[in-house]
A and B are shown apart, each in its own frame.
Chain A
Amino acid sequence: MMNKIMTMVRKELIDAARDKRSVMAGLSYAIGTPLLMCGMFMLLIGQMSSPKDLNIKIEHANNAPDLIKYLSSQGITHGDSRSTDDQGEPLDVKDIRLVISEDYAAQMAKGLSAEVILIADNSNEKLQNSIRRLERNLQTYSAEMGSLRLIARGIDPRVVQPIKVKIEDQATPDSKGGIILGIATMTMIYAVFISGMNLAIDTSAGERERNSLALLLSHPVSTRSIVLAKVFAVTVFAMLGLLLTLIISKISYAYVPWHELGFTVNISTDFILLMLLIGLPIAMMAASLQLFVSFMAKSFKEAQSYLTLVLIVPMMLSMAASYNIAPDTLQWLPVSGQQQALIAFIKGREIPMLQLVLSSVVTLVITLALTFAMERSLKSEKIIFGL
């Protein structure tokens, strides 16, 4: 039985390697997705991080020379559309306006509150960091001024600071990158679903469409061997897709300027090995699921449309896990359970072993159930002849 299974696996793989459609489907995802993700991260980082020199529009700057001096020492200066930097390049001026009131100097002199107005679109994600930075600096300046006024009146400034909040950020650089890496892991896990999909359809619905399924079933091989061989072949393809995705990710992620976000994203060899180990049961489940659905479909095209729908389920599980909005039950489910373990590993936390083992066991149980159902369905005349 083993010999026959190996013969079938070898044939399936030769057949698949010569099928341009199957190879292209696997390759384009494995190569394209990491590159796309890289491009997206680069764009995101460029837009989200506040530049070293923040240029905003400051109106009536001459009313508050001291404030302006303080801001410029923090890298925040006035700029308009005509401004250029040292090299004569036009400056990147953020759409933030700081309006200093006409009576600023007078109010300051009297020891009263002087008004400055910060005008910006708070819903604009790209400006968030810059707005926070300006606010923070204004508050620091305000607090400093306040302290000076108190000292001038002979009062210890600590009197007006009954609580001094000290924040110690426990986030390690790696854990900050967690969400972004969560999305990256999601695309990697999804590689096992995409890479083998075309082969799965080709070897089931496609095989029936080309009339070779009936011929294969007429030979002295058990349906179990046939199903196992097909699951195995599709799994091999899915794992190759995953390996390629990981290698391309490792190379391309090195070019993303992570340091601008204050953390590093490093696809280490340990991570690759763990991902391959955890990915194997998922790849087997993906293979059996895709084969099962494709055998149920009446034609190649029908299988394609069903599978697109079916693949939304692992996608949802994976998305829920990467955005950290997951209820606890998701830790025990296939795909999301394994992904949360991977994310924990990236963040440098301890891997939740129990959850990982259990979700992997559930994954394998689903694989076995689907394989068994397929074995039974291949004894049905309806499935064999696509009636």
Chain B
Amino acid sequence: MIKVSNLSKRIGEVQALDDLSFEAKDGQITGLLGPNGAGKTTCLRTIFGLLQPDKGIAEIDGIDVSKYPIEAKQQLGLFPDPFGLYERLTPREYVSYFAELNGLSRVEAKAATAKVLSQLHMDDIADRRCKGFSQGQRMKTALAQAIVHQPTNIILDEPTRGLDVMSTRVLRDLLRGLKENGHCVLFSSHVMQEVAALCDQVIVMADGKVIAIGSPDDLCRQTGKDSLEDAFIQLIGTDEGIAA
């Protein structure tokens, strides 16, 4: 479970987060939807402790990230944007390395790595160095890193960007699988179809604030639109109207 309460963060002149509160529950896929510059990445970075909020708290499984960063991050998997691969390591070494950093022993890490690599159909590239990988192969490597230690909570920052249809499907199936196994999945996106197809709960964000929270259907009903895209435009547009 990931919970943020009244998060505020100013970066330079910009109020990146403005009294942001929401909760992503276990066994659900939660989508953080917003236009570019809405504060999605800032919000996620605050959750895994890279940024300190000016106000408010972020909690993972009830543990305050800024107070007990190591304990809080113990149950967290992260799929970052950009991926941050080590180009000179192979996916097997890369994934195993982060598994060990998450507290697995060397033997456990190797076993867990082998399992996740075959789960993602990566056996053919598992022992090749990451340099020169395609976008899809990079995505899979980053994803394997995020889930190798079976964390309760998984955060994905713009996971579908630059992926072809096949890779997107792999990702989608994997996220559904995680949800069925009771994991809490939180991802940010600005791709409507992704969010509509996957999410149980959508958090619409703009200018660092929560505009609306609900299932895709709820949001459509709320705005009286047929598609999530139209609902989204309506929500964001209305907000701009108010702001002006």
A residues whose Cβ falls under 8 Å from a Cβ of B = 3-4, 7-8, 11, 14-15, 18-19, 210-222, 381, 384
Contact = CB atoms under 8 A, between A and B. Distances in A.
A28 B84 CA distance: 30
Given A7-B97, A214-B84, A219-B102, A381 B52 contact: yes
A150 to B, nearest CB: 85
Contacts of A218: 48-50, 73, 76, 78, 80
| A interface, over-half SS | helix
B80 A211 contact: yes
A19 B50 CA distance: 28
B50 A217 contact: yes
A211 B83 contact: yes
A15 B89 contact: yes
A196 B98 CA distance: 24
B162 to A, nearest CB: 15
A18 B88 contact: yes
A217 B80 CA distance: 12
17 contacts: A8-B101, A11-B86, A15-B88, A18-B89, A210-B87, A212-B84, A212-B85, A215-B80, A216-B84, A217-B50, A218-B76, A220-B70, A220-B76, A220-B103, A221-B70, A381-B51, A384-B50
A211 B84 contact: yes
Contacts, number: 75
Most buried by B among A8, A212, A217, A384: A212
Contacts of B98: 219
Nearest to A380: B52
A22 to B, nearest CB: 10
B218 interface: no
Contacts of B86: 11, 15, 210, 212
Given A18-B89, A214-B50, 10 more contacts: A11-B89, A14-B88, A14-B89, A14-B93, A15-B88, A216-B84, A219-B102, A220-B73, A220-B74, A381-B52
B151 to A, nearest CB: 10
B102 A220 contact: yes
Interface in B81-118: 82-89, 93, 97-98, 100-103, 105-106
B118 to A, nearest CB: 23
Most buried by B among A7, A212, A220: A220
Contacts of A211: 80, 82-84
A7 B105 CA distance: 10
What are the nearest 3 A-B pairs in CB distance?
A212-B84, A215-B84, A220-B73
Contacts of B82: 211
Nearest to A226: B101
Given A381-B51, A384-B50, A19 B88 contact: yes
Contacts of A3: 100, 105
Given A18-B88, A210-B87, A222-B70, A7 B52 contact: no
Contacts of B100: 3-4, 7
Contacts of B102: 219-220
B53 to A, nearest CB: 11
A363 B80 CA distance: 39
Contact of B80 (A14, A19, A214, A381): A214
Contacts of A214: 45, 50, 80, 84
A219 B101 contact: yes
B50 A4 contact: no
Contacts of A15: 86, 88-89
Contacts of A18: 88-89, 129
Interface string B218-244: 000000000000000000000000000
A213 B100 CA distance: 17
A215 B83 CA distance: 8
B78 A215 contact: yes
Given A218-B49, A218-B73, A210 B84 contact: yes
